[in-house]
């Protein structure tokens, strides 16, 4: 979502990086470009005005620190400003806290087409992972097939749906649903209310009645982030007329400019609580302003990456994998398990974009290309015999086997050789993690999650962090060769070593006799 905004910010820091210190002139020029970047991202102009004013004051009052260049200073100021723009007030905002075993009544509001019904299913799935027992309640008695849609969502996820048809008033439906939930031990009652066509066309009396009669624990508005400032305006109207505790943004994985996410808190006074980042039930993330700011500025999001990995791999599987790594018995069967685990975590482009320094490069990567490369690697591994998958040394030491694998999978011998090289490099790197576990190794490889380097320090070193020792970007499964070369070139350039691309062989011209 924030790709365009991230590119604009990168341009601002790139221009000021060569300056010796912050001056009135370069501050003025940088702030002008920051303002344009935010306005083009569809951020509310009043918020932009306040933001650039605060950035200007912080930049002018910044003390000159020896060894810290202007780009570092401005980067730090902008990052703090973005976090401040999206962070709620702990004194007035209600943090979402689920009480296991007690009734948690959650009222979901929104305009038609925002994805509210689907979001109810995602929220139920998210709470179920925290040992909740959800109950979906169908209160959209106006939209054709709305009840049937919620029933299908519930059936696909294995959650019960309480409905009483289209003739019963929503206030009565919620009353009966709460009785049902109490009798059946359901502690997360998620109410899907009717979507409004437009905030000015339909009265909010029904929602106000639900709020006053049942006093929900949380009232969330589901807003479509693709609609930009319309999402902000609807959030403000719902908050003024009904009252909401937070906003849940859908379609955060789309190509919207990001203005809604940056504007909602400042305009409505209510924080963003959850963000939908895909179409799968598990594609729901708690909204963390600091992590979003890091993604915007190309710093990745290691914390979210580690959390996704921990969710995708259960404890027994992780312990088994750690034992294999420690004993050196990691094989192609384990390799393909790792690939499938990565696939469960979400799109490859999104995951690689969470690695510090790769956000800018991933903007030019086609996720479909990554997926095809992923399948290509899987096809070559599945073309191996069972003995070859269990004993990688057989494939490594004999060319005839690789030639047979290439023909069996419909690939070239060169591609199979590259796979073998990828596997050996990845196995060597992962053995470094064996002593601390998979997740501990990932955290330490990226500098740790608590002791991550200051983003401004990474910016000063050229905008990309140092990869773990011996790590070659081309070892990552499913990464197309041309992208791996770009990543390697960036890494070598930062470390001061020269990078010479392979020379193309000149074709000899045929001469006529």
Taking only the tens of pLDDT, the chain with its 513 residues reads 566 777 777 777 777 766 666 677 777 888 888 888 888 888 888 888 888 888 888 877 665 554 456 677 777 888 888 888 888 666 666 678 888 888 999 999 988 888 899 999 999 999 998 889 999 999 998 887 889 999 999 999 999 999 998 889 999 999 999 999 999 999 999 999 988 765 545 557 888 899 999 999 999 999 887 777 777 888 888 888 888 898 888 877 766 666 777 888 888 888 888 988 878 888 888 888 888 787 777 665 556 666 666 666 666 666 676 677 666 678 888 888 877 777 766 666 566 655 555 555 555 555 566 677 778 888 899 999 999 888 888 888 767 888 899 999 888 888 888 888 888 877 776 666 555 544 454 444 444 444 444 444 444 444 444 444 444 444 444 455 554 555 555 555 544 444 455 555 555 555 665
Q: Is residue 296 in some structural domain?
A: no
Q: What's the pLDDT score for residue 20? A: 66
Distance CA 264, CA 266 (A): 6
Instruction: Please check whether residues 224 and 320 belong to one and the same domain.
Output: no
Instruction: Please check whether residues 23 and 147 belong to one and the same domain.
Output: no
Q: The domain containing residue 73 runs over which residues? A: 3-86
Instruction: Please check whether residues 395 and 482 belong to one and the same domain.
Output: yes
Q: What's the pLDDT score for residue 365? A: 55
Burial classification of residue 393, based on how many CB atoms lie within 10 Å of its CB (0-12 exposed, 13-18 middle, 19 or more buried): exposed
pLDDT tens sequence across 465-494: 444 444 444 444 445 555 455 555 555 554
Instruction: Please check whether residues 466 and 338 belong to one and the same domain.
Output: yes
Q: What's the pLDDT score for residue 159? A: 95
Q: Residue 152 CB: number of other CB atoms within 10 A?
A: 14
* pTM, 2 dp: 0.66
Q: What's the pLDDT score for residue 506? A: 57
Instruction: Please check whether residues 265 and 313 belong to one and the same domain.
Output: no
Task: For residue 299, give both structure tokens.
Answer: 């710093």
Instruction: Please check whether residues 277 and 337 belong to one and the same domain.
Output: no
Strand ordering across the sheet containing 246-250: 161-162, 134-139, 188-193, 104-110, 218-224, 246-250, 272-276, 284-286
Q: What's the pLDDT score for residue 186? A: 94
Q: Is residue 501 in some structural domain?
A: no
Q: Tell which of 86, 120, 136 closes a domain.
A: 86
Nearest Cα neighbor of 287 from 9, 54, 80, 85 is 85
Instruction: Please check whether residues 184 and 331 belong to one and the same domain.
Output: no
Nearest Cα neighbor of 268 from 241, 292, 290, 240 is 240
Q: Is residue 262 in some structural domain?
A: yes
Cβ-Cβ contacts under 8 Å for 405 (sequence gap 6 or more): 380, 383, 384, 388, 395, 416
Q: Is residue 508 in some structural domain?
A: no
Cβ-Cβ contacts under 8 Å for 182 (sequence gap 6 or more): 103
Q: What is the DSSP letter of 62?
A: P
As for how many domains the chain has, the answer is 3
Instruction: Please check whether residues 196 and 323 belong to one and the same domain.
Output: no
| CATH number of the domain residue 453 falls in | 1.10.260.30
Instruction: Please check whether residues 175 and 245 belong to one and the same domain.
Output: yes
Q: How far is CA 339 from CA 183, 346, 473, in A?
A: 43, 11, 16
Would you give the end-to-end CA distance of the chain in angstroms?
61
């Amino acid at each position: 979502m924030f790709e365009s905004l991230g590119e604009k910010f990168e341009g601002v820091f790139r221009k000021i990086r060569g300056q010796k210190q912050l001056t009135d002139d370069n501050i003025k020029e940088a702030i002008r470009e920051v303002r344009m970047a935010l306005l083009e991202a569809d951020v509310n102009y009043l918020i932009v005005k306040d933001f650039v004013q605060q950035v200007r004051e912080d930049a002018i009052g910044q003390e000159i620190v020896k060894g810290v260049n202007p780009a570092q200073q401005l980067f730090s100021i902008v990052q703090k400003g973005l976090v401040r723009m999206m962070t709620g007030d702990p004194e007035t905002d209600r943090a979402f806290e689920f009480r296991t075993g007690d009734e948690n009544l959650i009222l979901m509001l929104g305009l038609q087409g925002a994805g509210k019904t689907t979001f109810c299913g995602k929220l139920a799935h998210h709470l179920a992972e925290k040992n909740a027992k959800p109950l979906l309640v169908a209160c959209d008695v106006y939209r054709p097939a709305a009840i049937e849609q919620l029933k299908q969502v519930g059936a696909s996820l294995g959650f019960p749906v309480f409905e009483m048809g289209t003739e019963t008033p929503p206030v009565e439906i919620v009353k009966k649903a709460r009785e049902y939930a109490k009798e059946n031990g359901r502690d997360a009652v998620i109410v899907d209310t009717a979507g409004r066509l437009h905030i000015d066309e339909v009265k909010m009396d029904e929602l106000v009645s639900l709020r006053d009669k049942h006093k929900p624990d949380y009232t969330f508005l589901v807003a479509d982030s693709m609609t930009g400032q319309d999402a902000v305006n609807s959030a403000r109207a719902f908050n003024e007329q009904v009252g909401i505790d937070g906003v849940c943004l859908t379609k955060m994985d789309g190509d919207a400019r990001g203005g809604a996410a940056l504007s909602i808190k400042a305009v409505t006074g209510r924080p963003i609580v959850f963000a939908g980042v895909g179409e799968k039930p598990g594609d729901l993330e708690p909204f963390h302003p600091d992590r979003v700011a890091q993604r915007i500025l190309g710093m990745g999001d290691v914390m979210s990456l580690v959390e996704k990995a921990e969710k995708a791999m259960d404890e027994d599987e992780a312990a088994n994998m750690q034992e294999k790594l420690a004993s050196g018995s990691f094989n192609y069967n384990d390799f393909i398990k790792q690939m499938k685990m990565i696939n469960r975590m979400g799109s490859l482009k999104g995951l690689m974009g969470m690695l510090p320094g790769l956000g800018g490069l991933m903007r030019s990567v086609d996720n479909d290309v990554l997926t095809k490369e992923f399948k290509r690697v899987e096809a070559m591994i599945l073309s191996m015999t069972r003995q070859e998958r269990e004993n990688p040394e057989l494939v490594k030491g004999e060319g005839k086997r690789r030639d047979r694998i290439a023909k069996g999978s419909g690939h070239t011998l060169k591609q199979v050789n590259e796979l073998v090289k990828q596997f050996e490099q990845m196995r060597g790197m992962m053995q470094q993690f064996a002593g601390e576990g998979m997740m501990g190794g990932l955290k330490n490889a990226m500098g740790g999650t608590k002791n991550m380097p200051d983003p401004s320090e990474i910016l000063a070193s050229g905008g990309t962090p140092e990869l773990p020792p011996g790590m070659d970007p081309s070892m990552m499964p499913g990464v197309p060769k041309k992208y791996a070369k770009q990543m390697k070139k960036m890494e070598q350039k930062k470390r001061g070593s020269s990078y010479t691309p392979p020379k193309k062989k000149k074709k000899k011209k045929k001469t006529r006799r």
